[in-house]
């Protein structure tokens, strides 16, 4: 989801990523870097204006089809 927010009158992009927990610090950093670079390339805004938040959700707190991902993983 990309939603703009304002700082000192300027509209700034705020990119939120929700994903299952388990990615490394390095992977999360690369995700933030790549999203920022892509947004900058497409829109021409300054990289400093782009905010990326990565929210990791525990497998037991995320479900699809009525079953948590923790249960799906345990079932194999």
Q: Which residues are annotated as catalytic?
A: 13
Cα 53 → chain centroid: 5
Question: CA end-to-end span of the chain, whole Å?
Answer: 31
Q: Is 57 left (phi over 0), alpha (psi -120 to 50) or beta?
A: beta
């Amino acid at each position: 989801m990309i939603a703009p927010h304002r700082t000192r009158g300027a509209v700034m992009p705020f990119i939120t990523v929700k994903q299952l927990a388990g990615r490394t610090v390095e992977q999360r950093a690369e995700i933030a870097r790549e999203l920022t670079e892509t947004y900058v390339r497409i829109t021409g805004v300054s990289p400093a204006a782009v905010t990326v938040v990565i929210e990791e959700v525990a497998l037991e707190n995320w479900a699809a089809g009525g079953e948590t991902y923790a249960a799906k993983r345990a079932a194999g």
